[in-house]
Structure 1
Amino acid sequence: MTGVRRGALAAALLGVLATAGCVTLPDGGDVRDQPGDVLPSATGIRYTPPGPARGASPHAIVTGFLDAMGASPVQTSTAREFLTRSAAEAWQPQRRTVVYDAVKPSTSGSSGDLVLTGAAWLDEAGRWRGELPAAEAHVHLRLQRERGEWRIGGVPDALLARRTWFSGAYAQFQVHFLAPDYRSLVPEPVFAPRGEPLATSLVRALLMGPPDPDAPWLANRLGGLHLAEGAVTVKEGTARVGLSGVATLPTPAARTQLAAQLAWTLRQVPGVRTFQVRIGDTPLTLEGGLTDIPVGQGASLDPADAEASTALFGLRGGRPVRVEGHDVQALDGAHAPAYALREVSVDLDATRRAEVSADGRQVRVAALDGAGPATVVTGEDFAHPAWDRAGHTWLLDRRTSGAGVTVLSSGRQLVVRVPGVSGARVTDLLVSRDGTRLFAAVRDDGRDEVLESRLWWNGDDVSASPARRVATVSGLQDLGWDGPTRVVALTTAHGLSQVTWMTLDGAPGDLGDIPAAAAVFDPVTSLVTSATPGQPLWAVGAKGALVAVGAASSADEPPHGITHLTAVG
């Protein structure tokens, strides 16, 4: 969009503003260094907004200030020209980003009083924090004269970003922390400006730590460290990360875990193949003397579990089978259960199974072939069991009195109280392979909400955080994983089914770079999905027929006659 068109659009929106006082956006949070005014550049058309014209009116100053925050590449130098000298020096737009749809008239009488509609916010690290409270969507830009010209003397510490601009200038990435047992990386979504220097943005977000600094469900080997020179440099495919502070790296394994956090974060930067880390004057050295660390480092900590089986499992004639390509193998042999099954669920390394009886009242967990001792759990109506990489079996009992969540750990059955989920009307449950996230589909007053709770273990006991809403949908039929960072939902309304993708943080799909919803014109009831990246996604018809969704191809379709297909986990 040209400068003229941007300016005209902003002027049209602001031209209807009325005048008198408003509430200022909060500007709390720790102050972080932000070198200069140029934020990482965006791809696409370059746009350098004009500064304030001589003799500009208060209205024109406000219009120009908002327009200047739509620069491409992303920068705030021009926006500072609309501020008084003291306000320009004090303004810290990196503290938060407010994304809004439009500006509507205020009921006050000042040209600097704005009301942002459809506003949401991101914190300093670029983490999506959801809807901005209504009171905080009232922004007061205090106008005053300086050297005979109108300037803005008070401004919230935030980048005010129109949604249409933000969706093109920013993209969603993942920074990686560790599960509390250090056995898996845990992806946490953040938004960062597209283009260079993306590496600096992502490492800075990683160094800011988990979304909740005291979160017991995440560990961080980078705690207490900061960028020593304010930026990550990239040259000839190698990113150089200079850090200051004190790192707690007592063992070679700890150094490997720190390297894995950086590797999985930096591998998203185009062209980066290796990286080097210095903590103070000391280079990070892994076993074998490795200092040029490949971004493929840390495969054993893959949040999707690189060792997980890619086979599918299901039922044929009511008995469990393993499906690999067009090869179908019965699981039971001489250990076939005496009762019919409704479905089967298999752990990540395909060594154990959890089978749900036809009436849904019993779950039996045993070796994959059904041999040996088994753990049996009884209830009212069990949903599809879930597994994490530690081998825990997660069970949702959809009781008429309200849902109950339990987990089987080393043969023990533990009740898990999940605030917002336990006791509610829950139709489905997912657990991430890293074992730190639980997603539940909760039905209330005719609508379906997808809720997320965070999980953590303290010895042999497990706890869950209060659930927060990730999405609201209608007619939810099934939930599943599409890779380790996306949840997919099958919904049916007015006879039409569609598959909808959602991000872990609940950010809108148009901002999170996720696929658009896909319509399914066949009558379907459930999904076949996997947390392993790149696996086909299928919708399942009432008679077991598969319908390809997204990149799935009919050439990949398993043999007919298999019902209740499922991936591991």
Structure 2
Amino acid sequence: MGADRGRRGGRPVRVGVYVGCGALLLAGCASMPDSGGLSGVESTPRQDAQVRVFAKSPSKDASPAEIVQGFLEALTSDDPQYETAREYLTSSASQAWDPYRSTTVLAEGPNAEAVHSGTSEGTAEILYRLSGSKVATVDTQHAYAPDSGSYSRTVHLTRQKTTKEWRIDGLPQGVVMGRTDFQRNYKSVNKYYFASNVSSETGGQLETVADPVYVRKQVDPMTQMVRALLKGPTRWLDRVVGSSFPTGTELKKGVKSLSPDDRNMVTVPLNQKADHVGQGQCSKMAAQLLFTFKDLTPTGVDEVELQKSDGSQLCVLTEDQADGIASHGTAHYPDYQYFIDGKQRLVRMPSSGSDKQPEPVPGALGDGDKKLRAAAVSRDESSAAGVSTDGTSLYVGSLVSGGSLGEAVLHSQGKTADDRLTTPSWDGQGDLWVADRDPKNPRLLLLQKGAGSPLVVETPSLDGRIKAVRVAADGVRIALIVEKDGKSSLQIGRIERGTKSGEPPTVSILELRSVAPQLEEVTAMSWAGDSRLVVIGREQGGVQQMRYVQVDGSTPVGTAPSALTGVKEIAASEDERLPLVAHSQEDGIVRLSSGEQWQKVVKDGTAPVYPG
């Protein structure tokens, strides 16, 4: 439970908060007054990353309304154990209340309205109703999920017989707060596991999978993330990823906080469950931590030491060594960006953003004999797949000079161009995905290594027709634009693979979930990070917009891409340092690097893609 600072129950509420500075900012706090009253705040201020906010304890003779509002405010502070919030509760209510059960996010702070007052068994009592409009819920695993509908819960207060003070003796589990306070209090961080339903890369590397969760920004986020990582993946991912940590592994009893030392190394003491792991397994455990720390801090952590329960060393791993164990999103640095030029050939230009002009790719897909309307390039940039201009045929060829192009590997029988093949997509294992939009036989198809008979992918929860397909590099998540009843939505599904002796492999997309529910018309999308996508779409009655969304449906912190009119297609890389590339109806192929404005590349060009 919690609240946006500002309007409550139809009137402004002023609740004081303490603002404290961490050790790193002590010098900057020298001019802070050490006496005088606390000043109230009307709205949530933007806080510096090192500034912590502490709520005010209940004042003597506080009214029931002040107790409720003070309690809600206390829940939006940076109090690690919610100790100040518990001061507003009776002893029995404090023992029964679990603030970590869930976090409910509302569009605005909850309204608190008195709905009943009276006397029960000689004790004065009053009942308040908290209400609002739900936006999202964060569960016990720290997993975010969009939510909607009305929120309504009650808080019961009684006047204590001994002190004559009002206290809360009945309240819902978890916490609730407005979106503004949630954004100030929480941050999204990826923890990392290894894909379990795909084969290893040829070099023996594992494939990392990002599992985004929300933790409190100012309450030792590094330790929160390690505890969350050790507990295992969130429910949506746990069927397709695995952890190297033995079941039951936790931080050693008594460990309160983790932080880098002066060499930027983090020491992680573990309990006895990890005492007997071998060096290979320990290195994988340390790699998971290093990838997670890389996403948690701007500079990452250089080194991790894991310790046994007796304090002796289990293993040490550096950041460079971790990159040799597993393939991480930012390690997929492509050499080129690609698009279809005015001659309907596949062309490329350096991904570094140089001024070099686009050139046809080596091989048959770049020589112009086969006219193309869309293409996809394998992640190792050795092969490409192209869709014919009418959308009926899919070709696969190598990107080497003189390479020939055989017969089409797939055909669609759709009657119109819009009812045929979508732009294809390659996963990190070298498999090729494409959707056939033929209304008489709509299918999602997989060609293993881009060849052979296509596998029909099972999509039991799909409600609509697939318009676009993009597979994540990890091979366990897929993004789809799905059309139904004149609307199109962005959905993320989990890829599950199965094999039985003597039978063809099976591939299924399960638990599809909408990740941009506010958009009723999604026209283009692309993966733009380990757990982020860039999306082009419109809200109801609105204009086209470009935004980033997380795979859990939340909106990442940061600036959205600058506006661009008439966007038809968009391409991004999992390596977030690389520029966005788009096809604009007005300007052709354009490119956006960080901190710059959109720049024209060529007027005649369509279908931009990065490898993948």
The normalised TM-score by structure 1 is: 0.83
Q: 2:348 aligns with which of 299, 312, 322?
A: 322
**Change beyond 3 A, Cα 1:412–1:79:** same
Matched residue, 1:461: 506
Q: Say which of 494, 499, 516 aligns to 2:546.
A: 499
Q: Which residue number corresponds to residue 129 of structure 1? A: 145
Q: Is 1:386 equivalent to 2:419 in the alignment? A: no
Which stretch of the first structure deviates more once superposed, 269-278 or 241-250? 241-250
Q: Is 1:530 the counterpart of 2:573 in the alignment?
A: yes
Amino acid at match of 2:557: D
Cα deviation code 1:104-163 (max 9, x no counterpart): 4669425443233123321123210221664xx322223223323221122333123332
* Conserved? CA contact 1:438–1:452, under 8 Å: yes
1:53 matches 2:59: yes
CA contact (8 A) 1:94 1:124 kept: yes
Equivalent residue for 2:476?
436
Which of the numbers 228, 251, 254 marks the counterpart of 1:227? Answer: 251
Tell whether 2:306 aligns with 1:277: yes
* Secondary structure at 2:492 match in 1: strand
Partner-residue secondary structure (3-state), 1:297: helix
| Structure 2 equivalent of residue 260 of structure 1 | 287
**1:487 alignment partner in structure 2:** 533
Q: How has the CA–CA distance of structure 1 residues 371 and 160 changed in structure 2, closer, same or farther, with 3 Å as cutoff?
A: same
- In 2, Cα distance between the equivalents of 1:94 and 1:295? 36
User: CA 1:160–1:14 in structure 2 vs 1: closer, same or farther (change >3 Å)?
Assistant: farther
Aligned length: 529
CA offset digits 1:280-304 (Å, max 9, x no partner):
2375655xxxx25448723552342
Q: Distance in 1 between matches of 2:193 and 2:276?
A: 15
Q: Is the 8 A contact 1:74 1:169 kept in 2?
A: no
Contact 2:422 2:434 in 1 (8 A): yes
1:545 match: 588
Q: Is the 8 A contact 1:249 1:255 kept in 2?
A: no
RMSD of aligned Cα (Å): 3.3
Q: Does residue 85 in structure 1 map to residue 91 in structure 2?
A: yes
Q: Deviations for 1:157-193, whole angstroms, at most 9, x for unmatched residues?
A: 3123332222112211111111114621111111112
Where in structure 2 are the equivalents of 1:301-380 lying within 5 Å? Answer: 301-304=326-329, 306-316=331-341, 317-324=343-350, 325=354, 326=356, 328-331=358-361, 333=363, 339-369=370-400, 370-371=403-404, 376-379=409-412, 380=414
Within 5 A, what are the aligned runs for 1:196-211? 197-211=220-234
CA spacing shift, 1:171–1:304, aligned 2, 3 Å? same
Quote the Cα distance in structure 1 between the aligned partners of 2:470 and 2:458.
15
Equivalent position of 1:170 in the other structure: 186
Alpha-carbon contact 1:500-1:518 (below 8 Å) kept: no
Offset of residue 334 of structure 1: 6.6
Contact 2:8–2:112 under 8 Å retained in 1: no
**Partner Cα separation in structure 1 for residue 312 and residue 321 of structure 2:** 19
Aligned equivalent of 1:34: none
TM-score (norm 2): 0.78
SS at structure 2 position matched to 1:70: coil
> Are 2:104 and 1:98 equivalent residues in the alignment?
yes
Cα 1:276/1:44, change in 2 over 3 Å: closer
Q: Residue 528 of structure 2 contacts residue 575 of structure 2 at CA under 8 Å; is this kept in 1?
A: yes
Contact kept? 2:562, 2:597, Cα under 8 Å:
no
Aligned counterpart, 1:395: 434
In 2, distance between residues paired with 1:440 and 1:75? 41
Describe the shift of the 1:554–1:66 C-alpha distance in structure 2 as closer, same or farther (beyond 3 A).
Answer: closer
Q: Which amino acid aligns with 2:347?
A: V
1:93 aligned counterpart, secondary structure: coil
Q: Rate the CA distance shift 1:43–1:337 in 2: closer, same or farther, 3 A.
A: closer
**Contact 2:78-2:218 at 8 Å conserved across structures:** no
Change in Cα spacing, 1:87 to 1:209, as seen in structure 2 (3 Å) is: same
Q: Deviations over 1:224-244 (max 9, x none)?
A: 211223434223232221222
The alpha-carbon deviation at position 349 of structure 1 amounts to 0.3
Q: Spell out, residue by residue over 1:478-535, the C-alpha distance to the aligned partner (whole angstroms, 9 max, x if none).
A: 111222221111236889542111111001x2xx3143364213x3321132222211
Gaps of 5+ in 1: 16-40
Q: Is the alpha carbon distance of 1:145 and 1:514 closer, same or farther for their aligned partners in structure 2, counting shifts above 3 Å?
A: same
Partner of 1:141: 155
Q: Is the CA contact (8 Å cut-off) linking 1:275 and 1:295 kept in structure 2?
A: no
Please give the secondary structure, in 1, of the residue aligned with 2:284: helix
Q: CA deviation at 1:353?
A: 1.1
Q: Residues 338 and 501 of structure 1: is their aligned pair in 2 closer, same or farther, counting only changes over 3 Å?
A: same
After superposing the two structures, state which structure 1 stretch, 222-231 or 322-331, moved more. Answer: 322-331
The question of whether the paired residues in 2 share the 8 Å contact of 1:127 and 1:190 is answered with: yes
C-alpha separation in 1, matches of 2:229 and 2:524: 33
Deviation track 1:452-479 (CA, whole Å, cap 9, x = no partner) reads 1111222433222121111131443211
- Cα distance change of structure 1 residues 251 and 328 upon mapping to structure 2, 3 Å threshold: farther
Letter in 1 for 2:488: D
Question: Structure 1: which amino acid aligns with 2:572?
Answer: T
CA contact (8 A) 2:275 2:308 kept: no
Task: Name the aligned partner's letter for residue 141 of structure 2.
Answer: A
Select the residue among 262, 268, 288 that pairs with 1:241: 268
Deviates more, 1:540-549 or 1:78-87: 540-549
Tell me which residue corresponds to 1:21. Answer: none
**CA distances 1:392-411 after superposition (whole Å, capped 9, x unpaired):** 10111122247411111143
> Separation in 1 of the partners of 2:272 and 2:578?
41
**AA aligned opposite 1:187:** A
Distance 1:209 1:112, change over 3 A: farther
Question: What is the letter of the counterpart of residue 490 of structure 1?
Answer: I
The alignment partner of 2:211 has SS state of: strand
> Would you say 1:478 and 2:524 are equivalent positions?
yes
Question: Compared with structure 1, are the counterparts of its residues 418 and 14 closer, same or farther at alpha carbon in structure 2 (3 Å cutoff)?
Answer: farther
Q: Match of 2:465?
A: 425
In 1, the alpha carbon distance for the partners of 2:50 and 2:335 equals 38
8 Å CA contact retained: 1:418, 1:466: no
